[in-house]
A and B are shown apart, each in its own frame.
Chain A
Amino acid sequence: MNRARLALGAFLAFMLIAPLVLPAFHVTLLNYIGLYSIVALGLVLLTGVGGLTSFGQAAFVGVGAYTTAYLSTAYGVSPWLTLLLGLALTFVLSLFLGFISLRLSGHYLPLGTIAWGISLYYLFGNMEFLGGHNGLSSIPAISLFGLALDSARKFDYLIWTLASLALLSMHNLLDSRSGRAIRALKGGGLMAESFGVDTARMKIIIFVHAALLASLSGWLYAHLLRFVNPTPFSINAGIEYLFMAVVGGAASVWGAVVGAGILTVLKQWLQDLLPRLLGQSGNFEMIVFGVLLVILLQRAREGIMPLIVNRFPAPRRPLPATTQVLPKRARPAAGEAMLEIRNVRKVFGGLVAVNELSFAMNSGEILGLIGPNGAGKSTVFNLVTGVLPGTGGEVYFRGERIDTLSARDIVPRGMARTFQQVHLLPTMSVLENVAIGAHLRGSKGVISAALRLEREEEAMLLAEAARQLERVGLGGHVQEQAGSLALGQQRILEIARALCADPVLLLLDEPAAGLRYQEKRALAELLRKLRSEGMSILLVEHDMDFVMKLVDRLVVMDFGEKLAEGLPQEIQTNPAVLEAYLGGVK
């Protein structure tokens, strides 16, 4: 029994006994912490994990609360039915709001959430049928199997059962194929898109998920208090929810509970203390919250959860055992046409970065693309992988035209890449980082992940990741954090991740940059081994020594144009190349 499990057991035991023995005031506090935790959990997913921010969650809480309040008082609809209706309404609303604001760059979403957070608040307060600013009262109690949950003590069990289920399903979700895709959003969408993650869709999913959790909390709130008015759904409440998520931090789903707990207790204490201290009444706790958050973001941006998580290290999990293997695509025969670039052109404003470039490579070949700084090599790379749209020309991959496709649609055709600047998720394990590469080889989504219905596929994905790590020689580092690896190992990790996509063509963007001599030799060794297994490799590289010993053929670029093409020995004696590199030494 390790400490993490003991702590979980102690928590559950406390939650079972607390409502029976604690004084009424503390039970009420516990109820509120539970309600707020559910909302904050959505924000841990949205903000902490996904890197998106909403100040408008209180409005979604309001949608859930008012839906049930209105329907159950005006039409006597069963609260269990109004829960579903509230969630459905929230789903539609959040889908619409997410769709219009998530397409824009980072800061429009939070600004948009402030705006519609205020709109919905005033709407609640001005609609006749919702009781205006006086609100709606006499909301019926929820009954469960004939037992009316009409006291705070009884209701506590309902709140914390649902909160625990929300925590568990979130924990499951983050530890899955979809969870890895969501965690990849924060580092910018480029890497995730390059392995086939539909980042726009993932953003909508987590936004809607967070909204649904808020709505659930609102439903509980309405039936706990049996009364609703607009105040708890104001923009200030929305801001406090975000504070909870930031204070707790995203290191674990428990950050939501810790953040909600700290802010709720602190608020209670300050609301008691400050008015006495200042001799007047008002929400003075705002000052403390504001200052506290500024200090926290300056000193400990990850919140306080990492401090707690480090005291309760999770046990190292053995790799799930599986005998099944992911299907692999058919390998092309050696010498088959692999990649062909025809008259490709790319213009940035007035700058011609790539001008009428053409070259081709065949299966089983290592082709080096070299050239001085600014020659346009990386641009060619981005054109081939679909990261940038070309201005003109055509790109063919195994006979199929791909220059009109996006990065996400090119991966499943059998092309995978690494990045010039490593794109890793430093706090995730090496294994999980590599498993992102296999994203498109699985298909199970968010719901099956939350319910743990995808364990078989997940085991196959992780086994594949472990196999690729073994293949590149990182088999001993599977459980380590990716950020703790040396740069050389991180570059190798990127190759393993690319291999996980089951490619027939590997594109490596300066894989030897920043590596030490021994690391370069090991890398060259690995690439030769991959070639002998039938892999085709397109390599952009600066290190001449490394390239000349490794590649079969070379394409030399200068000022966006092809300067020369041929075998390494030919290139080494080519006068035009010497001119470009050495400035015309005769």
Chain B
Amino acid sequence: MNAQIAIFLVQDGLTNGAIYALLALALVLVFAVTRVIFIPQGEFVTYGALTLASLQLGKLPGTAWLLLAAGIAVTAVELAQALRLGAAERIPGILFKYVIFPAAVMGLAWWAAPLKLALTLQVLLTLIVVVPLGPMVYRLAYQPLANASVLVLLIISVAVHFAMTGLGLVFFGAEGSRTPAFSDAHWNLGVLTVSGQSLWVMGTSLALIVGLFLFFEHTIYGKALRATAINRVGARLVGVSPAMAGKLSFTLAALIGALSGILIAPITTIYYDSGFLVGLKGFVGAIVGGLVSYPIAAAGALLVGLLEAYASFWASAYKEVIVFTLIIPVLIWRSFTTHHIEDEEE
């Protein structure tokens, strides 16, 4: 290995690592607010990537259908609840949010898909289609069990991951897709060749991290989420609804997931089940931070990206083995630095 390759691998590792870092942040966020270990994060990556790929081919993305179907399912659940509580005044709102809105998005996608709009507009459309699935998933799968133990919520997460992977296969098929790069530019700086794509990825990640920071520090919703993460009961007492906090954190997670998918799609071919491994690499990073620290989670995720880049150079067949085995020293390290008496949860 010479210096040029070494530097190339660093760039490659940091590019992937930046995406894993975004996912790690979303995972920490969701866990802190809802105690959900959000395994299906990876499916939002897949959905984001493949929805954009469909749009670029001028096809109506299958996720638009999924949004419509999920909307109808949420409508059924919400209507049943509204009728049980005798709250008929909620019905117009429910119909607007979960029937009219998804139908409008569907119509928009159907109209826009064949036009092959500019990349920015396609990205925007992708987000409009995929992100609302986040809060809908929360409403359907998690909200009825919001007080269950972390373990039950985790099993739910794995079940949702299973269902969403299968749905990905239905809507996108078994073929993989790769989208064109955002930028073909290359700059030569001495031995280093910087690609425009990796600058895009790192720039977007950084912008998103700064955006999240501002959201948490300076907006009332961001503060509500932080309050819920610190003390669920206390936040509830001052009027932060846990359902609102849950849906909001899932919306953010879906946004981060879909964006990560859009960023990673030009780098690697994405299949209907690829998101799972991508999301899990974010998890390895998040676990380094004990699922609580944002900066350590991000640093851990960058480390995962670097390790992966070097592993694929030295022993490409064992790339996944090496990355996922990293969790063992991490667990050992955490088990010797964490001291606590395990208390009951249920």
Contact = CB atoms under 8 A, between A and B. Distances in A.
Interface string B141-171: 1001100111110111011111111110110
Contacts of B344: 187-190
B328 A294 contact: no
A62 B140 CA distance: 35
Interface string B292-317: 00000000000000000000000001
B335 interface: yes
Interface stretch (A116-124, A347-355, A393-401, A532-540): A116-124
B189 interface: no
A310 to B, nearest CB: 22
B219 interface: no
B338 A104 contact: yes
Interface string B301-341: 00000000000000001101100110110011011001011
Contacts of B166: 282-288, 290
B169 A283 contact: yes
Given A104-B334, A287-B167, A119 B154 contact: no
Contacts of A290: 159-164, 166
B144 A298 contact: yes
A291 B340 CA distance: 36
B162 A188 contact: no
Given A123-B321, A190-B344, A239-B162, A108 B287 contact: yes
A32 interface: no
A465 interface: no
Interface string A264-278: 000000000000001
A485 interface: no
Interface string A287-304: 111110110011001000
Contacts of A100: 328, 331-332, 335
A573 interface: no
Contacts of B149: 106
Contact of A280 (B39, B163, B173): B173
B158 to A, nearest CB: 6
Interface in A383-442: 387
B37 interface: yes
Interface stretch (B80-88, B190-198, B223-231, B277-285): B277-285
A126 B335 CA distance: 30
B318 A115 contact: no
A116 B287 CA distance: 14
A53 B174 CA distance: 31
Given A123-B321, A284-B166, A287-B170, A53 B155 contact: yes
Contacts of B318: 122-123, 126
B159 A293 contact: yes
A108 B158 contact: no
Given A290-B161, A294-B159, A116 B154 contact: no
Nearest to A301: B152
Contacts of B341: 189-190, 387
A111 B283 contact: yes
B340 A105 contact: yes
A110 B140 CA distance: 23
Given A106-B345, A108-B331, A187-B346, A118 B158 contact: no
Contacts, number: 153
Interface string A70-111: 000000000000000000000000000100110111111011
B342 interface: yes
Interface string A167-189: 00000000000000000001111
Nearest to A97: B328
B262 to A, nearest CB: 25
Given A51-B151, A290-B160, A297-B159, A112 B170 contact: no
Contacts of B184: none
B155 A119 contact: no
B89 interface: no
Contact of A115 (B162, B174, B280, B334): B280
B280 A53 contact: no
Contacts of A301: 148, 152
A282 B169 contact: yes
A114 B152 contact: no
Interface string B86-126: 00000000000000000000000000000000000000000
Interface string A225-266: 000000000001001001100100000000000000000000
A217 to B, nearest CB: 21
A286 B151 contact: no
B170 A118 contact: no
A297 B155 contact: yes
A110 B150 CA distance: 11
Interface in A511-568: none
Contacts of B320: 118-119, 122
A55 interface: yes
Nearest to B37: A107
Contacts of B145: 297-298
Contacts of B158: 55, 239, 242
A246 B156 CA distance: 11
Contact of B328 (A51, A116, A242): A116
Contacts of A112: 327-328, 331
A187 B291 CA distance: 24
A210 to B, nearest CB: 15
A106 B150 contact: yes
A115 B327 contact: yes
A107 B280 CA distance: 14
Contacts of A294: 140-141, 156, 159-160, 163
B182 to A, nearest CB: 30
A289 B161 CA distance: 11
B345 A188 contact: yes
A389 to B, nearest CB: 10
A294 B137 CA distance: 11
Contact of B331 (A104, A187, A287): A104
A53 B159 contact: no
A286 B283 contact: no
B159 A114 contact: no
A126 B318 CA distance: 7
Nearest to B283: A111
Contacts of A188: 342-346
Best-buried of A108, A123, A278, A283 by chain B (most CB within 10 Å): A108
4 closest cross-chain pairs (CB), A and B: A188-B344, A290-B163, A286-B166, A287-B166
Given A115-B327, A187-B344, 19 more contacts: A51-B151, A100-B331, A101-B331, A104-B335, A106-B342, A108-B334, A126-B321, A188-B343, A242-B155, A278-B170, A282-B169, A282-B174, A283-B169, A289-B162, A290-B162, A293-B155, A293-B159, A294-B159, A387-B341
13 contacts: A53-B154, A97-B328, A100-B331, A104-B334, A110-B151, A116-B325, A116-B327, A126-B317, A242-B158, A280-B170, A290-B159, A290-B161, A297-B148
